[in-house]
Amino acid sequence: MVENIEIKLRDEAKRLLLEKSVDVIIGYETGTLPLTATPCFINSPEEAEKLVFNELCTQNIAKYVHDFITNHKNSQKRVKPEDRKKKVIGVVARGCTTRSLVLHLQERQYDRDEVHIIGVPCEGYLDRKKLEKTLQGEEILDGNVENGQIKVKTAAGDKTLSRADLLADNCRACRFNNPIISDIIIGSPAPAMNPDNEYEKINEFEKKSLAERWAHFTKEMGKCLRCYACRQACPSCYCPTCFAEQSQPQWVGIGDDESDTQVFQCMRLFHMVGRCVDCGSCVSVCTTGVDLRNYLKKEEKDCWELFGSRAGSSLEEMPPLGKYGEHDKQDFIYNP
The verdict on 296 binding ligand SF4 (CB under 6 A) reads: yes
Taking the complex as a whole, the smallest distance from the CB of residue 254 to ligand SF4 amounts, in Å, to 13
The verdict on 276 binding ligand SF4 (CB under 6 A) reads: yes
Q: Which of 114, 183, 278, 291 binds ligand SF4 (CB under 6 A)?
A: 278
The verdict on 194 binding ligand SF4 (CB under 6 A) reads: no
The verdict on 272 binding ligand SF4 (CB under 6 A) reads: yes
Q: Which of 288, 305, 306, 328 binds ligand SF4 (CB under 6 A)?
A: 288
- Relative to beta strand 140-146, strand 149-154 is antiparallel
Taking the complex as a whole, the smallest distance from the CB of residue 13 to ligand SF4 amounts, in Å, to 20
If we measure between CA atoms, which residue out of 199, 203, 129 comes closest to residue 166? 129
Beta partners for 167? 126
CB 321 within 8 A of CB 222: no
Only one of the segments 75-83, 208-216, 283-291, 302-310 lies at the binding site for ligand SF4 (rule: CB under 6 A); that segment is 283-291
The verdict on 277 binding ligand SF4 (CB under 6 A) reads: yes
> What's the length of the chain?
336
Only one of the segments 72-80, 229-237, 241-249, 318-326 lies at the binding site for ligand SF4 (rule: CB under 6 A); that segment is 229-237
The verdict on 236 binding ligand SF4 (CB under 6 A) reads: yes
The verdict on 125 binding ligand SF4 (CB under 6 A) reads: yes
Q: Which of 6, 40, 53, 60 binds ligand SF4 (CB under 6 A)?
A: 60
Give 12 or 278: the residue with its C-beta nearer to ligand SF4. Answer: 278
The verdict on 117 binding ligand SF4 (CB under 6 A) reads: no
Taking the complex as a whole, the smallest distance from the CB of residue 14 to ligand SF4 amounts, in Å, to 25
The verdict on 230 binding ligand SF4 (CB under 6 A) reads: yes
What is the per-residue binding string for ligand SF4 in 152-181, x denoting contact by CB under 6 A?
A: ------------------xx--x--x----
Only one of the segments 22-30, 130-138, 202-210, 273-281 lies at the binding site for ligand SF4 (rule: CB under 6 A); that segment is 273-281
If we measure between CA atoms, which residue out of 272, 278, 269 comes closest to residue 321? 272
Taking the complex as a whole, the smallest distance from the CB of residue 229 to ligand SF4 amounts, in Å, to 4
Interface contacts to ligand SF4, rule CB under 6 A: 60, 94-96, 122, 124-125, 170-171, 174, 177, 193, 224-230, 233-236, 272, 276-282, 285-286, 288, 290, 292, 296
